[in-house]
Amino acid sequence: MTVGALPWVLLSYLVGAIPTSLIVGKLFRKIDLREHGSRNLGATNVYRVLGWKYAIPVALLDILKGTIPVLCFAPRVSPSLVTALLIGIAAIVGHVYSVFAGFKGGKGVATATGVMLGLTPAAVGVVAVAWMLIVWLTGYVSLGSIVGAAGLPFAVYFLYPGRRELVWIDALVAAAIIWFHRANIRRLLAGTENRFGRRVETS
């Protein structure tokens, strides 16, 4: 990317950094989600603390935070798919390390999904089915996210042979998402991970 791309990368980061779950929690329930549930600013924690009514809009907005930079910002820089993916990664970084939330955030799954939805939608569809199946069979959202992240580069490789230049970057993103789930992995191995559907009470 050229120096001229930097403003768009920064804008992508700032869009990704919009702390949707934090805003929703404070606006509608007067709580800081960094102090409740898993203390994560992702849609899963919104569901556990606030319920579906709030979790679904938050998840959709977090997905859009990845799709908008890829489809709206990247074409202003270059037609390159790699450039689009790198600009999308800035949004993922923003979501995980939000400047508006003390550099805290979610684990990047929804925003990464939005990025790839703009670039390789069929691969996202396959991964989404795998995610739903794993969550349904095991009850673990984290396990579904980990397996989905690991499977995405393979889905892109086989479904988009003309876009294989994206695979190595996808693999790095997948590795980062798995790394962000390292605490979940420890709890999965210990048998103490929360299952999907469990709600926590807030005062």
Mean of pLDDT over the chain = 92
Q: Which two tokens stand for residue 172?
A: 């790095």
In terms of Cα–Cα distance, which of 10, 7, 49, 1 is closest to 28?
49
Q: Which two tokens stand for residue 37?
A: 């549930």
Establish if 108 belongs to a structural domain: yes
Question: The domain containing residue 78 runs over which residues?
Answer: 3-190
Each residue's pLDDT tens digit, 67-99 = 999 999 999 998 899 999 999 999 999 999 999
Q: Which two tokens stand for residue 196?
A: 């999907």
Establish if 199 belongs to a structural domain: no
Q: To 10 degrees, the CA torsion angle through 28, 34, 40, 43?
A: 0
Each residue's pLDDT tens digit, 30-51 = 999 999 988 899 999 999 899 9
Establish if 201 belongs to a structural domain: no
Domain count, the chain: 1
pTM for this model (two decimals): 0.91
Within 10 angstroms of residue 56's Cβ, the number of other Cβ atoms is 13
Establish if 97 belongs to a structural domain: yes
Establish if 185 belongs to a structural domain: yes
Contact present, 41 and 101 (Cβ < 8 Å): yes
What is the distance between the alpha carbons of residues 35 and 117, in angstroms, rounded to a whole number? 31
Establish if 169 belongs to a structural domain: yes
Establish if 198 belongs to a structural domain: no
Establish if 197 belongs to a structural domain: no
